[in-house]
Homo-oligomer: A and B are copies of this chain.
Amino acid sequence: MQETIAKFKEQLAKMKAYAHALAILSYDSETTMPKAGNAALGATMGFLSGEHYSLVTAPELREMLETLAQNREELDPVTRREVEYLQEELAKMERIPKAEYVEFNILLQTASQVWREAKNKNDYPAFAPYLAKIIDFSRRFAGYMNPALPVYDAWLNEFEKGMTMATLDAYFADVRAKLVPVIHAIAERGRKIDKSCVEVEFPVWKQRKLSDYLMDLLTIDRDCCAIGETEHPFSTGSSKHDIRMTTHYYPTLMLSSFFSVIHEGGHSLYELHTGDELIGSPLAEGVSMGVHESQSRFFENLIGRSRAFIELIYPKLCEIFPEQMAGVTSEMLYLAANHSSPSLIRVEADELTYSLHIMVRYEIEKRLMDGTLTVDELPNAWNALYKEYLGIDVPDDTRGVLQDIHWSMGSFGYFPSYSIGSAYASQIYARMAQELDIDACVRAGNLKPVCEWLEEKIWKYGKMKTPGEIVENACGAPFDPKYYTDYLTGKYSALYGL
C-alpha cells in the first residue's frame, strides 16, 4: 500500500511539472511573448498537454487509483481526496480521444490570437470560423465528459461543480427582478454623481507605487507574488509560492488599476493561503471559479468600495498625487468609486449593473451550447440582449460580442461564476460581520483578521471540499442570493438617494 501511494505521488509530481510549465508558458504568452511566437507556442503547448493527458489517462494510473480507492480507509485525508478528484477527472478525460484533445488545445492557442486581432480590427467575421470550431469541439467534449447532462450543464459543472441551468435560471430571474428596478430608479430619479474629479492624469509611474502600497495593505507577500502589466488584468499561479497577477494602467482612469489590483489581489490571497499540506497536489488551488471570484469581488467591492476603505486610502492618495487630489474630498472619491450607469463593457461595469452583463452572456451561451444560435446570428443576438437588459445600443463588435477573451479560450460556462461569485461574496461578508468588526479592521489599515477568517473558512482547503461545502462552511448556511440583492439594493438606494 505504501508503495502504491509512493508511486501515485510520483505520478502527481509529473502531472504537476507539466501543469506548471503550461501555466508559465501561458502567462508568458500573455505578458511577454512577441506576437510571431504564437505558432511555435501552440505546438509546444499542444505537445505538453498531450503528455499531460497521457499521464492522466495511463492504465497504470487508473490501476493505482482503483487500488487506492479500494483501500480508501487507510489513506490520509489529502490522498483520499486526491484519489476521488482524479477518478472524477479521469472519468471525464479518458473519454476524450487524445488526438482531439491535442487538436483542441492547439486550436485554442491560435484562436486567442485571432480573437485579439479581430477585436482590434472590429472584424467579427475573421473570428467567427474559429468560434464555430470551438463551439463544435465544446459540444462534442461535453458529450464525452458527461453524456448524461445537457451540454451547457456539463460545462457549468466544470467551473462550478453542481451548477445547473435550473439553478442559474432561477438565480438570474431573481437578480433581474430585484436589481432592474433599482437601475431604472437611478436613471429616473437618482441624484447625479460626478466621477470626473478623478479622471485627470495620474502618472503611471506613480500608479505603480500605489499598486505596491495596495499589495502591502492586502498583506500580499511579494516574495511569492509578482505583479505584471497586460491589457486585461488577470491572476494565475503554479503554487502558493509563485502567484502572478497583472493590472493595466490608464493615465486618466486611476481607479481602473486601483480596483484591478485589489480584485486580482483577492484572487492571489486565496492561492497564497492554500494549506501547506496541499503543496504539489492537484488539490492546491481554489475550489471553483465562482468561489475564486467571490474572493476577488469581496476585496474589490465589499472591502475596496466601502466608505471605510476609501477613508483609509484617501490620505495616501493625497500623499502620492497631491496635485490631482487637490479639491477632491474623501466623499467625492467614495461617490466616484461607486458611480453606476449602464455601459457597454463588462470589465468596466459597476457593481450594480455587472450581473446584467453576465446575463447577456449566460443567455447566449445556453443557446450556443444547445445549438439554437449560430455564430452568424451571434452579434445580432448580443446586441439585442444589450438593448433589452441594459437599454444601450452596441456601436461595433469590438465593444460588443468581441470584447471578452473567454470564448476564444473555449471557456463556455465560465461567465456565470462572475455573478455567482459576487453573490457568494455578499453572503460571506454578512456572515463575517457577525464575528468581526470589518469596518474597524479596515479603518485601522489592518486586514489581517479579515484574511485570517477567510483563510480558516475557505482558502486553506483548496479543492479538499466541494464549492457548495466551502460556501456553507464560510456562511454557516447554503448559498442564498438574497444577501447580494439586499446589499446592492441597500447600498445603491442610499448612494443615489432613492
Q: Give me the interface of A with B, judged by CB distance under 8 Å.
A: 13-14, 16-17, 20-21, 24-25, 27-28, 31-37, 39-41, 43-44, 47-48, 51, 205, 221-226, 228, 238-239, 241-244, 280
Contact = CB atoms under 8 A, between A and B. Distances in A.
Nearest to A240: B36
Q: Which 8 A-B pairs have the closest CB atoms?
A: A37-B242, A36-B241, A17-B47, A36-B224, A17-B44, A20-B44, A34-B226, A35-B223
A435 B240 CA distance: 59
Q: Copies per complex? A: 2
Contacts of A243: 34
Given A20-B41, A32-B244, A36-B241, 12 more contacts: A14-B47, A17-B44, A20-B40, A32-B226, A34-B222, A34-B225, A34-B241, A34-B243, A36-B224, A37-B238, A40-B280, A51-B51
Contacts of A16: 44
B40 A238 contact: yes
23 contacts: A13-B47, A17-B43, A17-B44, A17-B47, A20-B44, A21-B21, A21-B44, A24-B28, A27-B32, A28-B32, A32-B32, A34-B242, A35-B223, A36-B223, A36-B224, A36-B242, A37-B224, A37-B242, A40-B239, A40-B280, A41-B242, A51-B51, A205-B205
Contacts of A17: 43-44, 47-48
Contacts of A24: 24-25, 28
A13 B27 CA distance: 23
Contacts of A226: 32-34
Contacts of A37: 224, 238-239, 241-242
A246 to B, nearest CB: 10
Contacts of A48: 17, 21
Contacts of A39: 241
Most buried by B among A24, A222, A223, A243: A24
